[in-house]
Chain A
Amino acid sequence: DGGITQSPKYLFRKEGQNVTLSCEQNLNHDAMYWYRQDPGQGLRLIYYSQIVNDFQKGDIAEGYSVSREKKESFPLTVTSAQKNPTAFYLCASSRWTDSYEQFFGPGTRLTVL
């Protein structure tokens, strides 16, 4: 089955630790995205990548980092510099030519203890 997978489903982190969230897609999509969702808020774009080895900051990139070494993978690292990291994180992907239709993974819920 084609789709987007994210792991882990739930993640707990102590303050001061970096954590990495995984996102993998087998849809052969060029573009991938990371969003953050807080209660009562819409999705806010953290980072996006159009092609391998290239990525751009979104609206709330501070305290996060990404890499895009393979087309299928776009991991997100939440660093200790992110002041309020507790949130629901969603990864998405799209084709480049009609990139407005984005397909989402099931999400990772990160809680900072």
Chain B
Amino acid sequence: EDKVVQSPLSLVVHEGDTVTLNCSYEVTNFRSLLWYKQEKKAPTFLFMLTSSGIEKKSGRLSSILDKKELSSILNITATQTGDSAIYLCARNSGGSNYKLTFGKGTLLTVNP
């Protein structure tokens, strides 16, 4: 089955902590892996990863793909309460490149 598995499913940290969110996928065809942040309603795009070992960075957020391990991590350093959200990972298989398969998401809560 074509799965995307995220861990942990939920996480509670204090402001200033660093967190690492995990995403693994099971697929033979692979085109890209995407990360989204969903605060209350619409998910917003964070990163798209296509090449293994190349880190994408945006402020305190960074992400990297490991094609050998079929996984990706999303790091958030110096967390703030505004980082509280559901973080969604999605895989694009490329064969039908308009379809994304999403994981269940990680609910991150950052307490002051």
Instruction: Point out residues on A near B: beta carbons under 8 Å.
Output: 4, 31, 33, 35, 40-45, 48, 50, 58, 90, 94, 96, 99-107
Contacts and interface: CB of A to CB of B under 8 A. Distances in A.
Contacts of B42: 4, 90, 104-107
A33 B43 CA distance: 14
Interface residues of B, number: 23
Contacts, number: 54
Interface of B: 4, 6, 9, 31-32, 34, 41-45, 48, 88, 90, 92, 97-100, 102-105
A58 B99 contact: yes
A96 B97 CA distance: 9
Given A42-B88, A44-B102, A99-B98, A106 B41 contact: yes
A106 to B, nearest CB: 4
Given A100-B97, A101-B45, 8 more contacts: A40-B9, A42-B104, A43-B88, A90-B42, A94-B98, A96-B98, A100-B92, A106-B41
